[in-house]
């Protein structure tokens, strides 16, 4: 097992101990595993992506941190099923279908469903066109679905 796997396991343990929310310091973690700090980013982007059921927030500067949240609750399977069914690009019609699906499954409230629809609408993504718009839409949709369930 390589270093990346050990770091991933460590983070997973943190998440389990802290009810699905782990806050870490990149430099400290890197020091602990004797690797360069950017390897932490590598681990996060390859193993803690929305597709894996995680959302990540971070802050730079003094007092900075990286916070990793895991999708939780009894609906975990269903939300991951939906998120993984969303490809790398998606149009409004399909996005709408997924959001409706999530709403009908009780994963998100009516208001959140509407807000997410507003966020992934063509109008909201106006500056973009074609494939790029569908790509951002897919990313945004996954992100928001995981976010509201973590």
The least distance separating DNA from the CB of residue 75, rounded to whole angstroms, comes to 28
Query: What are the residue ranges of helices labelled H in the chain?
Result: 3-17, 26-32, 37-47, 76-85, 92-104, 110-119, 130-147
Q: Using CB under 8 A, which residues numbered 20 to 49 contact its own copies?
A: none
Please report whether residue 130 would count as binding its own copies according to CB under 8 A. no
128 binding partner (options DNA, its own copies, none; Cβ < 5 to 8 Å by kind): its own copies
Return the C-alpha torsion angle 136, 92, 48, 80, nearest 10. -170
126 binds its own copies (CB under 8 A): yes
**Smallest distance from the beta carbon of 141 to DNA, in angstroms?**
16
The sign of the dihedral angle between the CA atoms of 89, 114, 121, 148 is: negative
Q: Which stretches of the chain bind DNA, using CB under 7 A? A: 2-5, 24-28, 35-42, 46, 58-66, 91-93, 122, 129
């Amino acid at each position: 097992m390589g270093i990346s796997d050990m770091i991933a396991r460590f983070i997973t343990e943190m998440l389990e101990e802290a009810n699905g929310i782990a806050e870490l310091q990149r430099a400290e973690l890197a020091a602990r595993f004797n690797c360069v700090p950017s390897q932490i980013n590598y681990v996060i982007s390859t193993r803690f992506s929305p597709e894996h059921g995680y959302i990540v927030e971070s802050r730079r500067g003094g007092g900075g941190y990286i916070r990793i949240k895991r999708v939780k609750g009894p609906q975990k399977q269903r939300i991951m099923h939906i998120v993984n069914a969303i490809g790398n690009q998606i149009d409004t019609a399909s996005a709408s279908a997924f959001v409706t699906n999530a709403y009908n499954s009780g994963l998100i409230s009516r208001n959140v469903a509407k807000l997410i629809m507003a966020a992934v609408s063509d109008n909201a993504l106006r500056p973009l066109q074609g494939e790029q718009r569908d790509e951002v839409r897919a990313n945004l949709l996954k992100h928001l679905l995981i976010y509201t369930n973590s």
